[in-house]
């Protein structure tokens, strides 16, 4: 008796079809079990098999998100919403109702939901997320503090700063130190340095580093310092002034320790060879990354766009097309069960900046990016048959990684956010352009701001509580 009731309750919760099966076994059981013990054993085994089969089917449907719908006497499909955040334990508000805290997973009926993730002391994160039956949607929020703690990394006066190609070291020129021998060029390591100081001096102040062109080598092992004069001449026909730059000297500095600048050989005559070798290295770096992208994007990034900068994980890229282009339909996104719900922009307009996501094939416009200027990067994808070393050639090497020289946006270290410099200071936004968040109203000098490797801080060349013309490297805590 108890076995029959258990089977009945299990079957009725699955489907009406299963109930019919139960009735068949029930009638056989009543008519034959009492007369034949062998039949009783067979029927019990069949009932056990039926029970296990139906239980498995019920478990599979439950795992897919189906739940009993008593009103319609059936099963109703649901979708899974995964809500995560950094930092954790943030409140999750769904359609204006406080629902849970991060990190958590929720089964929701298929619909569009307004998700808000908030935590005391941090800016909120908001997004509309569609939930689809049997699919997992995610809301992954990086929350940033409303008030950031600051720590000076340098004192006195930093005249110049630039990051290396891996964005884990900064070269800067220090001046106005009370001890003259401590003025000069330094390298600051952004990653943890347990064996010594994060600031290592590599050159004294015997040269005017701030007014030179400093270029990191692609492997970050050397820094090329180029000194030049600006010469003004007059065009006899148009009577206009023309400014040209003449290289006067150049030296190669090692980034591993202190350099004796006075004994370093001048490499001006070797500049064409150095430029050619470094271009070759960038070709070897860029070509494998480009090969990951669809062919139409490879053509755009290599030939029809400027200021092309790949994300740290190489799965996204922002770029500025030089002509109007219409991207093909998103075949990558079609093949995926669910993608980012933010509206795409596949009609590209010249001089606007966009982000392409390799994993989903999606393309978004960045409304916060400024129009390109004459200082623009061209992605190096091929070697030159006639090596040269003009100032423009040298600057192109510099622009390959030093994004702040060419645009007001740059990548945050997790590849899911971008750093934006504008009239309101320094901000961070999601890669699809949503959730623009102000970090500080302080504006960086020469646009220099970079994220630490773990994303726990922003390093900015700026002025806080000092004389108006006195700038230093300041760390802004984002934890």
- What confidence score (pLDDT) does residue 58 get? 60
Tokens standing for residue 241: 């002034």
Higher-confidence position of 12 and 54: 54
CA 73 distance to own-chain centroid: 46
CATH for 78-142, options being 1.25.10.10, 2.60.40.1120, 3.50.50.60, 3.40.309.10: 2.60.40.1120
For 318-337, how does the pLDDT look when each residue is reduced to its tens digit (9 = 90+)? 999 999 999 999 999 999 99
Domain with CATH 2.60.40.1120 in the chain: 78-142
Is residue 287's pLDDT more than 50?
yes
For 212-255, how does the pLDDT look when each residue is reduced to its tens digit (9 = 90+)? 999 999 999 999 999 999 988 877 777 788 888 999 999 999 99
The CA–CA distances, whole Å, from 249 to 207, 263, 266 equal 11, 14, 6
For 352-383, how does the pLDDT look when each residue is reduced to its tens digit (9 = 90+)? 999 999 999 999 999 999 888 878 999 999 98
| Rounded mean pLDDT, 398-404 | 93
3-state secondary structure 196-264: CCCEEEEECCCCCHHHCEEEECCCCCEEEEEEEEEEEEECCCCCCEEEEEEEEEEEEEECCCCCCHHHC
- What confidence score (pLDDT) does residue 233 get? 80
- What confidence score (pLDDT) does residue 24 get? 44
For residues 354 and 317, what is the distance between their CA atoms, to the nearest angstrom? 8
Task: For residue 25, give the 3-state DSSP assignment.
Answer: helix
Q: What is the mean pLDDT of the chain?
A: 87
Is residue 11's pLDDT more than 50?
no
User: Smallest Cα–Cα separation from 306: which of 215, 369, 388?
Assistant: 369
| Rounded mean pLDDT, 78-85 | 94
Q: Is residue 246 within a helix (H) or strand (E), and if so which, with residue range? A: strand 241-254
Tokens standing for residue 66: 């189906």
CB 413 within 8 A of CB 312: yes
């Amino acid at each position: 008796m108890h076995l029959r009731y258990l089977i009945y309750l299990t079957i009725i919760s699955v489907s009406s079809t299963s109930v019919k099966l139960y009735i068949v076994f029930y009638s056989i059981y009543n008519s034959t079990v009492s007369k034949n013990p062998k039949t009783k054993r067979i029927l019990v085994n069949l009932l056990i098999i039926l029970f296990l089969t139906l239980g498995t089917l019920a478990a599979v449907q439950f795992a897919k998100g189906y739940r009993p719908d008593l009103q319609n006497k059936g099963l109703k499909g649901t979708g899974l919403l995964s809500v995560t955040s950094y930092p954790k334990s943030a409140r999750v508000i769904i359609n204006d109702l406080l629902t849970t805290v991060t990190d958590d997973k929720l089964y929701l009926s298929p619909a569009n939901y307004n998700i808000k993730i908030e935590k005391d002391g941090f800016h909120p994160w908001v997004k509309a997320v569609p939930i689809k039956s049997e699919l997992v949607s995610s809301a992954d929020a990086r929350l940033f503090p409303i008030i950031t703690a600051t720590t000076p990394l340098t004192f006195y006066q930093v005249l110049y700063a630039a990051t290396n190609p891996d964005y884990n070291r900064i070269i800067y020129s220090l001046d106005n130190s009370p001890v003259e021998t401590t003025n000069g060029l330094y390298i600051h390591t952004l990653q943890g340095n347990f064996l010594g100081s994060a600031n290592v001096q590599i050159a004294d102040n015997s040269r005017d580093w701030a007014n030179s062109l400093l270029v990191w080598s692609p492997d970050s092992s050397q820094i090329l310092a180029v000194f030049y004069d600006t010469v003004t001449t007059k065009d006899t026909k148009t009577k206009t002034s023309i400014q040209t730059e003449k290289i006067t000297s150049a030296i190669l500095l090692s980034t591993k320790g202190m350099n004796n600048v006075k004994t370093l050989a001048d490499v001006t005559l070797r500049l064409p060879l150095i430029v050619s070798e470094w271009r070759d290295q960038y070709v070897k770096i860029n070509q494998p990354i480009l090969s990951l992208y669809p062919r139409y994007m490879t053509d755009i990034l290599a030939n029809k766009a400027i200021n092309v900068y790949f994300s740290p994980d190489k799965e996204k890229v922002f770029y500025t097309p030089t002509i109007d282009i219409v991207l093909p339909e998103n075949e990558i996104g079609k093949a995926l069960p669910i993608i980012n719900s933010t509206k795409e922009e596949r009609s590209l307009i010249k001089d606007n900046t966009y982000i392409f996501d390799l994993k989903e094939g999606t393309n978004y416009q960045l409304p916060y990016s400024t129009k390109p200027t004459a200082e623009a990067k061209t992605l190096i994808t091929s070697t030159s048959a006639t090596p040269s070393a003009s100032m423009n050639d040298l600057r192109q090497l510099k622009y390959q990684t030093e994004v702040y020289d060419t645009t007001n946006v740059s990548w945050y270290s997790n590849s899911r956010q971008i750093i934006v410099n504008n009239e309101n200071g320094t901000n961070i936004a999601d890669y699809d352009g949503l959730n623009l968040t102000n970090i500080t109203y302080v504006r960086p000098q020469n646009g220099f701001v970079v994220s630490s490797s773990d994303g726990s801080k922003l390093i900015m060349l700026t002025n806080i509580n000092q004389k108006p013309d006195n700038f230093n490297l300041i760390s802004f805590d984002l934890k």
